[in-house]
Structure 1
Amino acid sequence: MTLPNWAREPLVHFLVAGIVIFTLLAWRGGDVDPASRTIEVDREQQAQIALVFERTMNRAPTDAELDAQIEAYVRDEILYREALRLGLDQGDAVVRRRMAQKMDILASSQAETVQPSEETLRVHYDANPQAFASDVRYTLDQLWFEDRKGAERALTYVETADDAFQLGQRISLPPSVDAMTSKELADRFGMQFAQNLDGLEPGENWQGPVGSGLGWHLVRLKVRDASKVPPFENVRSDVEDHWRTQTIARRKEEAFQLLRDSYKVTVKK
C-alpha cells in the first residue's frame, strides 16, 4: 500500500503519536489487532465511555453527548491502529513508559475495588497509628542517592561503614532531623518521603531505599512519636484509604518482583 504524501510527514506522525498517548488509556479496553478493519463498540465499551464522561463532568452524558464520545472513541481507535501499522509505537520512550504504567495498573486493579473487612481495617489501624495521628514527630538520619541502584548498593555495607554519612551523595537536605513533624518533613523532603516513612520500623538499623521526589534515601528511623491517635471510629474512612494505598503499592511491587524474577538482566560495564 502506498501512503499519501501527507501521511509521510513527520509532523503528522508526531500528532498521531500524541493523540494515541494521551487518549489510549482513557478510552481503550483490551488488546487490538492492527490488521483488523472492524471496530465494534459493544454495550460494555459504551458503558465505560459513559463512566469516563460522568467522572469527568460529575453527571451522566445526554444521548447526544454519548454519541459524540463514542465517535471520538472510534476516531482514536482508527488513529491508534494506523499508528501501529506505521510502527510508531516502536522505540518511543513515552509510549514505553505508558505501557509500563498500564502494567502497574493491572497489577493493582483488584485492590482498588475490594472492600476490606472491619477486622482488616482495625488490624491496619493498630499497625499504623502514625498514619492517623494528628501530630507525628520523627527523629531520623538519612542518606540521599540520585538513583535506586546506588542506594541498594550502599545498604549492603552501610551498617559496617566507619562513617555512614560519607556514603550518601551531596544534596541540600539535613542528614539528621530531631522531633520533626510529618508536615515539616513533607515540606523539606516532599510528601512521598513523609508517607513512605510509615512503612519503616523504628530502630537503629538503616532501611530502604525510601523514595522521594528528590531521589532515593537510606533511613535510620530512631523515633516515631504518634502519641495523639484518634479513635478508630473517628478516622475509619482515612484508615480504609490508607489501607488501600498501601495495599496497591505492595501488590504492584509483588507483581513486578514476580516478573523480575523471570528475567535474566545483564548490565554491561
Structure 2
Amino acid sequence: MMREWLRDPLAHFLIAGAAIWGVLSLTGGEVDPEARTISLSREQQAGLALAFERTMGRAPTDAELDARVAQWVREEVLYREALRLGLDEGDPVVKRRLATKMDELASAQAELVQPSEEELRAWYRENASGYESGGIYVFEQAYFPTRDAALAARGEDRPRGQPISLPRNVSGMSDKEVGQLFGSEFAEGLSRLEASPEWQGPVESGYGWHLVRVSSRDDGEIPPFEDLREKVERDWRSRTIAARREAAFEVLREAYTVEVE
C-alpha cells in the first residue's frame, strides 16, 4: 500500500509541497509571523503587475505598481500582526480559506497539464452521453402515489391520476428540461419509451409513479468531437482537478482519526 502510494505523482506533489512549506517555516519566510523583515522579490512584483494586467487589460504604470506594492506591504504587516495576536484561531473564514488553498495546491498540476489529443478523444467517448443534444418530447402524464394505483389505471382510455404540481401536458421539452422539472429518474424512464397512442409505464419519479403517453420524440444526437473540442478540454480539466483534489484529501484523511461525540 505504502509503496504504491509513493509511486503516485500526486504523492510526490504533496510531499514536495510539504517540504517547501517546512523549509519556509524554518528559514523565516513569509509564513513566519515573528519575522520583522518583509521582502518583496522581483518575481513577486512581476506577479502583482500581472494580476493588475489581467484585471485591467493593460500593464500598470509605475505609480499604479507602487500603489499595489504599498497595498501588499500593508496586508502583509496586518496579516503578521493578526497571526501574532492569534486572530486566525477559531475563525471559520480563515479555516475555509486555508482549506481552499490546500485544494488549490492539490489541483495545481491538473490546471497546467496539457492533455494529448488521444486522451481527450478517449475521455469524450467515455462521457459522450453528456454532450447529447436534442431529445425533444411531446407527452402527457398522469400521476399516482403508488405503483399499484398506476398499474390499475393503465387500461383506462384517459387515466385521471391525482393532482400534482407538474404539467399534465408537455410539448417541445428537451430531455434536460424534463430532468430538471420531473427529476432525472423520470427523464431516464421516459427515454426508454417509444412514441405511441397507448399509455405506458408506470414511470417512477421522486414524486411517485406516472403513466405516460408519448405523442412524439425527437431523439438527440451526439456532436462530433471536433465541434466540441474546446468544451471537452474544459470539462476534462474540471473533472481532473476535482478528482485530484479528492484523491489528495483521501491521502491526507488517512493520517487522521476522527472522533465524533
TM-score, normalised to structure 2, is 0.58
Which residue of 1 is the match for residue 19 of structure 2?
none
Residue pairs, 1:252-263, within 5 angstroms: 252-263=245-256
Which residue of 2 is the match for residue 120 of structure 1?
119
Which residue of 1 is the match for residue 38 of structure 2?
39
Tell whether 2:103 aligns with 1:104: yes
Q: Report deviation, 1:125.
A: 0.8
Tell whether 2:64 aligns with 1:65: yes
Could you list the per-position Cα deviations for residues 188-235 of structure 1 after superposition, in whole angstroms to 9, with x for gaps in the alignment?
A: 88xxx9xxxxxxxxxxxxxxxxxxxxxxx9xxxxxxx98411111111
Separation in 2, partners of 1:186, 1:65? 48
Q: Report deviation, 1:255.
A: 0.4
User: Structure 1 residues 232, 59: CA separation in 2 closer, same or farther (over 3 Å shift)?
Assistant: same
Which residue of 1 is the match for residue 236 of structure 2?
243
Separation in 1, partners of 2:237, 2:104? 14
Separation in 1, partners of 2:239, 2:109? 13
Runs of 5+ unmatched residues, structure 1: 1-29, 138-172, 194-216, 218-224
Separation in 2, partners of 1:107, 1:226? 41
**Counterpart residue type for residue 237 of structure 1:** E
User: Structure 1 residues 71, 123: CA separation in 2 closer, same or farther (over 3 Å shift)?
Assistant: same
Q: Is the 8 A contact 2:132 2:220 kept in 1?
A: yes
Runs of 5+ unmatched residues, structure 2: 1-28, 137-164, 167-172, 185-205, 207-217
Q: Is the 8 A contact 2:53 2:59 kept in 1?
A: yes
Q: Is the 8 A contact 1:112 1:248 kept in 2?
A: yes
User: Structure 1 residues 255, 67: CA separation in 2 closer, same or farther (over 3 Å shift)?
Assistant: same
Q: Is the 8 A contact 1:132 1:238 kept in 2?
A: no
Which residue of 1 is the match for residue 140 of structure 2?
none
Q: Is the 8 A contact 1:121 1:240 kept in 2?
A: yes
SS at match of 1:235: helix
Paired-residue identity, %: 55
Q: Is the 8 A contact 1:129 1:226 kept in 2?
A: no
Q: Report deviation, 1:43.
A: 1.2
Q: Is the 8 A contact 2:134 2:174 kept in 1?
A: no
Separation in 2, partners of 1:64, 1:84? 30
Q: Which aligned runs of 4 or more in structure 1 are off by greater than 6 angstroms? A: none
Which residue of 2 is the match for residue 165 of structure 1?
none
Instruction: Give the paired residue count.
Output: 171
Could you list the per-position Cα deviations for residues 63-88 of structure 1 after superposition, in whole angstroms to 9, with x for gaps in the alignment?
A: 22111111111110001001111110
Separation in 2, partners of 1:114, 1:81? 34
TM-score, normalised to structure 1, is 0.56
Q: Report deviation, 1:59.
A: 2.0
Structure label with greater radius of gyration: 2
Could you list the per-position Cα deviations for residues 77-128 of structure 1 after superposition, in whole angstroms to 9, with x for gaps in the alignment?
A: 0010011111100011111111111111111111111111111110111111
User: Structure 1 residues 63, 131: CA separation in 2 closer, same or farther (over 3 Å shift)?
Assistant: farther
**Counterpart residue type for residue 221 of structure 2:** K
Tell whether 2:87 aligns with 1:93: no
User: Structure 1 residues 95, 182: CA separation in 2 closer, same or farther (over 3 Å shift)?
Assistant: same
Which residue of 2 is the match for residue 169 of structure 1?
none
Which residue of 2 is the match for residue 203 of structure 1?
none
